[in-house]
Amino acid sequence: MSSKNLLVELFVEELPPKALKKLGEAFAAALASSLKNAGLAGATATVTAYASPRRLAAHITDVAAVGADKPVVQKLMPVAVGLDANGNATPALLKKLAALGADASCVASLRRENDGKADILFYDSLAKGATLAEGLQKAVEAALAALPIPKVMTYQLADGWSSVNFVRPAHALVALHGNEIVPVSVLGLTSGKATKGHRFEAAVDPVVIADADSYAATLLKDGSVIASFAERRAEIARQLEASAAQAGANLKPIEDDALLDEVTALVERPNVLIGQFEEEFLAVPQECLILTMKANQKYFPLLDAAGKLTNKFLVVSNIRPEDPSAVIGGNERVVRPRLADAKFFFDQDRKKSLESRVAGLAKVVYHNKLGTQGERMQRVAAIARAIGQQLGAHVENSALALHAEQAAVLAKADLLTDMVGEFPELQGIMGRYYAQHDGLPADVADAIEDHYKPRFAGDSLPRGKVGTVVALADKLETLVGMFGIGQIPTGDKDPFALRRHALGVIRMLAEGNLDLPLNELLNVAAGAFVTVDGFKPAESALADFIYDRLAGNLREQGYSAQEVDAVVSQRPQRLGDIPKRLAAVRAFSALPEAAALAAANKRVGNILKKVENPVEAVVDNALLKEAAEIALHDALVDVVPLADAAFVTGDYTESLTALAALRAPVDAFFDHVMVNAEDPALRANRLGLLAKLHAAMNQVADLSRLSA
């Protein structure tokens, strides 16, 4: 059985650049999977994906011309039905065999097997392995059907009557097993050896592929195309670094993986060129210039060693003329009006102060149940003022509270500027620049930009207290408001990014170690909605949501599920304490007494749960009768003050470590004392003793969660 390498290429018109990488990977993976399932490719076959703006291709090693025969087991019927008393085939069995292409001659070779109820007849046969032509036809059809196509288009074939659906019109199909063409037809095309190279710079047309293994080299030599997405990307990155060094000492291209992927999907023969624009445009905030160059022109701006934008940029061209001046000049002419627009927007926006724009927010709808952006701004400002007062040592007119309220009022005003209207990604960033132009305090200007932070996982937190307060207020207003109107995330649906907002609140409270109890924050935020019709406070559900996000986040950080459950189940109000609590739990778990105390704590909790009314942690010394309960009480008298004192100072590790002394008296108590004594007074006193023990053991964390 011959085994050779296989190459399949579909040549098409320009594919959508943002989807190209996924399309190439999906095409190769689906093709290989189908061939492996058909027995035509081995499990260890190497798959190489190729993707350029005008082609999807895959190279697969060790593909057989014919698949191996496969054993087929066919369950027929019970022996009692298929054979008569003399062991001869019944008409029902003969009919079944005929349907399978067999006859009475194979009756003697039928296999019998008991299925637990009766003896069953089985027919064993061999199915011929599929030919590569058959298997590849199905594989290509399946691969095309499974492509993650953003949008399908319908186009006519050459006959003028037929039409097909695909992401872009397809013009050629190559299918080579070694050097032999595999007959395959798809999208109105029949497979061959010919494809096309670079649209303008191919050395020959068409490009003929001699065999599967020469595909990439032939396309590069005769077609001027780097077929591999990864190799083309690496070549662009190399040229960007080299051109940046050529443009000036210490210059570097801006780092943007998404832009690099997109440009890789736009060119087949990359050629990086250096362009520049007038230095006067550098008076515009660099974020504006960078965004317009990246988003509109796909250029790579050049930064100096300090990260400051220069007036030079890099263009990734798809052609390599001997004299590139025309290409460079054309790109410079194209970018100039874009930068001029940005400068015009910036100049016009600064003619009005941010404060003068605030009134316009009353005309911008935020949510049909929660009112306008103006109403939302008032709620955020009220929440920010309250948080600022609390962090500002409860001083009503503290600078923190006043600046936080001012920043909250102005935070959304830049939504009404021309620059943000053109580039929504600059919201907050432009607000900071305009606040600086208006002469506002630096912490207010910074807060206007930072109140959106953290925008994504791993993003930086607000740089100052004012920014932190406004960011907390903004996210809490969103969370409380959406929960209050029933817009709670379900499954994968989270249209208002509430999970991201919750994680932002968690990070700011925990990493900033802020003295802000979570429940108080939720109550303050809910108070801002008292005038909103249809709003129903849902602080309890929202707290559950936040603690769920917190638990998931802590597990992602490497804490065990038991450690996280032990701490988070106690709903600590100061999230900044959680790292110390987790460290304390981990240290406690390493103690030799930990397992026994965790099990005892679980037992105590179960006992107390079975009592109808809540048990008070009160003990009458006169009712302590047994030596073991006296010993436990004495131990608690010694240990609890030590644990409480450490807890109050925030030394949670010391607080839990002090509990180790309770192991022996706790074990003795359960060995020698009957908690549910017949005497009601004795029973109540012993339950009170256990309640006191339970309270002492669960201040830092629920230690019962550590019990296996």
Q: Which pLDDT does position 532 carry in this prediction?
A: 92
Q: Which pLDDT does position 286 carry in this prediction?
A: 96
H or E stretch covering 346:
helix 325-349
Task: Give me the domain span that covers residue 344.
Answer: 229-349
pLDDT tops 70 at residue 535: yes
Contact 194, 174 (CB under 8 A): yes
The confidence band for 645, taking pLDDT boundaries of 50, 70 and 90, is very high
pLDDT tops 90 at residue 271: yes
The residues, ordered by sequence, that sit 6+ positions from 213 with a Cβ below 8 Å of its Cβ are 5, 7, 59
Is the C-alpha dihedral spanning 83, 84, 88, 92 positive or negative? negative
| Domain assignment present for 393 | yes
Q: Are 170 and 288 within one domain?
A: no
Q: Which pLDDT does position 1 carry in this prediction?
A: 45
The confidence band for 16, taking pLDDT boundaries of 50, 70 and 90, is very high
| Domain assignment present for 575 | no
Q: Are 394 and 524 within one domain?
A: yes
Q: What CATH number is associated with residue 513?
A: 1.10.3210
Contact 329, 317 (CB under 8 A): no
Section 434-449 average pLDDT = 97
| Domain assignment present for 242 | yes
More confidently predicted of 407 and 617: 407
Last residue of one domain, picked from the residues 191, 207, 223: 223
Section 236-248 average pLDDT = 96
| Domain assignment present for 622 | yes
Q: Are 205 and 323 within one domain?
A: no
**pLDDT > 70 in the chain, percent:** 98
Q: Which pLDDT does position 395 carry in this prediction?
A: 58
**DSSP 8-state symbol, 130:** P
DSSP string, 195-249: E---TTT-SSSSEEP-SGGGHHHHHHHHH-----HHHHHHHHHHHHHHHHHHH-T
Determine the Cα–Cα distance for residues 118 and 344; give it in Å rounded to an integer: 87
Q: Are 533 and 492 within one domain?
A: yes
Min mean pLDDT across 432-441, 551-560, 600-609 is at 600-609
Last residue of one domain, picked from the residues 193, 223, 253: 223
Section 224-244 average pLDDT = 97
pLDDT tops 50 at residue 472: yes
pLDDT tops 90 at residue 225: yes
| Domain assignment present for 581 | no
| Domain assignment present for 563 | no
Q: Are 298 and 425 within one domain?
A: no
Average per-residue pLDDT in the chain?
92
Q: Which pLDDT does position 382 carry in this prediction?
A: 96
Q: Are 203 and 322 within one domain?
A: no
pLDDT tops 80 at residue 338: yes
H or E stretch covering 494:
none
**pLDDT > 90 in the chain, percent:** 68
| Domain assignment present for 630 | yes
Min mean pLDDT across 61-65, 102-106, 231-235 is at 102-106
Q: Are 451 and 345 within one domain?
A: no
Last residue of one domain, picked from the residues 349, 366, 382: 349
pLDDT tops 90 at residue 81: no
Q: Which pLDDT does position 71 carry in this prediction?
A: 78
pLDDT tops 90 at residue 623: no
Q: Are 289 and 186 within one domain?
A: no
pLDDT tops 90 at residue 204: yes
Q: Which pLDDT does position 708 carry in this prediction?
A: 60
Q: Which pLDDT does position 236 carry in this prediction?
A: 98
How many domains does the structure of the chain reveal? 5
Q: Are 268 and 394 within one domain?
A: no
Q: Are 62 and 142 within one domain?
A: yes
Is the C-alpha dihedral spanning 389, 394, 400, 401 positive or negative? positive
Q: Are 686 and 663 within one domain?
A: yes
Q: What CATH number is associated with residue 631?
A: 1.10.730.10
| Residue pLDDT, tens place only, 384-412 | 999 999 987 655 667 899 999 999 999 99
Q: Are 404 and 471 within one domain?
A: yes
